[in-house]
Amino acid sequence: MISRICKILACAALVSAASPAVQAQQLAAQPDSTIARGEYLARAGDCVACHTAPEGKMFAGGRAMKTPFGTLYTSNITPDRETGIGKWTADQFYKMLHTGRSIDGSLLYPAMPFASYTKVTRADSDAMFAYLRSVPAVKQPNRDQDLRFPYNNRSLIIGWRTLFFKEGEYKPDPTKSAEWNRGAYLVEGLGHCGMCHTAINALGGSSESQAFEGGLIPMQNWYAPSLTSNKEAGLGDWSIKDITDLLRTGVSNRGAVYGPMADVVYNSLQYLSDEDAQAMAIYLKGLAQGSSPDRPAPPLPSAETSLLVSLGKPIYDRHCASCHGSEGAGKLPHYPLLAGNQSIQMSSAVNAIRMVLNGGFPPGTKGNPMPYGMPPFAHVLSDDEIAAVVTYIRTSWGNRGAPVSARQANELRAATLN
């Protein structure tokens, strides 16, 4: 939904295009409606999340994004002529989105989601470019990428592209409705949801056959759940209203978003129109209609599980029941239910452990400006106690999640401190 090590424009060499006077005339000729539409689309694509550094100026880049291969720094996409995209043309901008190549022909690192953005139409690309040309120019040089050998060799990207990149605009499915196709375009293309919700392999790529089946988000220590499985984040049995509520406000009667997904809702999804939110909801609901992947976690010994549950109940009663209820019923929509909650029962317990350790808030949105949050318990509970209460929640009230160990809690505690 943050957000993740994705959506990064690699440093690009700038070339001269039209003169400054001609460029100014072209920008002035853009109707306000085109710029406004481009702003809407840039929000839908969540461009600001990566291209604005903490405490930095909007779209000026410089955000450090840690990856398993080293650190990437996002680029300046303001209209500054020397350090941004001020010398770019609309053709060059579209080519970059569509082909994953910069204006000098150099290959972009695939952390920039060009595998999704290739689906963006030329009309939408032109509107986004018009908007980016209208924002304040910021003179801020791009930083060199800091990748380990051999990943700092851009020529290796050719192999990655051969395996994982398929160029081409989104083609509507004639057997589906216009609304479904709009949702598919937003989810698969501009919204690039698969960048988080599809597992990344050792080469930094993902298999099309495993699209939206979920996976760990590298370096962020969060799990992006499967959108195809009703056992995880699949929305097949959700109502369209509950899905649109979650997308636009971060909370609904079926759940709430935290962590990287809260950032996505805050920066992007809350600004969707009613029509686009519904289109995405229809498409996402359809993803979960097929078979569901089942990757059960290895169980702990039954004696250890019984001990964890017996230790976990008093911890739950003391720290959790006042909000989530003694039987896990919650207080909707602000305090999520835990009984029967599919996100609690996922094969990966990472998110449940993270929430108990670190707490969190849904995003503050127009539809939910003062969200209720969960406090952190890392300073109150030991690793054994974290394991006990999470195991109790995952195995009580009919829940069928696997128990967790103190080692899992310790690993996540240590990871989030680094």
- Measure the CA–CA gap between 194 and 118, rounded to whole angstroms: 13
- Measure the CA–CA gap between 284 and 277, rounded to whole angstroms: 10
| Whether residues 224 and 315 fall in one domain | no
Q: Render pLDDT for 196-251 as a digit per residue (tens, 0 to 9).
A: 999 888 777 787 778 899 988 877 889 999 999 888 888 898 999 999 999 999 99
Q: How confident is the model at residue 12 (pLDDT cuts 50, 70, 90)?
A: very low
Q: Which residue has the tokens 């941004």?
A: 84
Q: Which residue has the tokens 């009984």?
A: 339
Measured CA angle at 273 (ends 269, 279), to 5 deg = 85
Domain-ending residue, one of 164, 186, 218 = 164
- Measure the CA–CA gap between 288 and 291, rounded to whole angstroms: 8
Count how many domains the chain has.
3
- Residues 6 or more apart from 401 whose CB is under 8 A from it? 344, 345, 346, 349, 352, 393, 394, 395
| Whether residues 82 and 195 fall in one domain | no
| Whether residues 99 and 185 fall in one domain | no
- Which of 361, 375, 380, 267 lies closest to 315 in space, CA to CA? 380
| Whether residues 267 and 348 fall in one domain | no
| Whether residues 158 and 187 fall in one domain | no
- Residue 394 belongs to a domain: yes
- Which of 188, 162, 13 lies closest to 85 in space, CA to CA? 13
Query: Residue 357 belongs to a domain with what CATH number?
Result: 1.10.760.10
Domain-ending residue, one of 118, 137, 164 = 164
| Whether residues 50 and 158 fall in one domain | yes
- Which of 311, 313, 349 lies closest to 328 in space, CA to CA? 313
- Measure the CA–CA gap between 391 and 402, rounded to whole angstroms: 7
| Whether residues 234 and 318 fall in one domain | no
Mean pLDDT across the stretch 265-283?
97
Domain-ending residue, one of 230, 252, 287 = 287
| Whether residues 186 and 269 fall in one domain | yes
Query: Among 5-14, 260-269, 378-387, whose mean pLDDT is lowest?
Result: 5-14
What pLDDT does 16 receive?
33
- Residue 9 belongs to a domain: no
Q: How confident is the model at residue 111 (pLDDT cuts 50, 70, 90)?
A: confident
| Whether residues 154 and 38 fall in one domain | yes
Tell me how far CA of residue 406 lies from CA of 306, 308, 332, 358, 386, in angstroms. 14, 10, 30, 16, 7
- Residue 172 belongs to a domain: no
| Whether residues 192 and 150 fall in one domain | no
Measured CA angle at 218 (ends 111, 399), to 5 deg = 130
Question: Strands 222-224 and 251-252, how do they pair?
Answer: unpaired
Q: What is the DSSP letter of 10?
A: P
- Residue 271 belongs to a domain: yes
Are the C-beta atoms of residues 163 and 105 closer than 8 Å to each other?
Answer: no
Mean pLDDT across the stretch 54-60?
95
- Residue 46 belongs to a domain: yes
| Whether residues 211 and 110 fall in one domain | no
- Residue 333 belongs to a domain: yes
For 238, the domain range is 178-287
Write the DSSP string, 286-350: HHTTS-----PPPPPPHHHHHHHHHHHHHHHHHHTHHHH-TTS--BTTTB---TT-TTTSSS--H
What pLDDT does 110 receive?
87
| Whether residues 200 and 154 fall in one domain | no
- Residue 295 belongs to a domain: no
- Which of 310, 284, 306, 304 lies closest to 405 in space, CA to CA? 304
- Residue 294 belongs to a domain: no
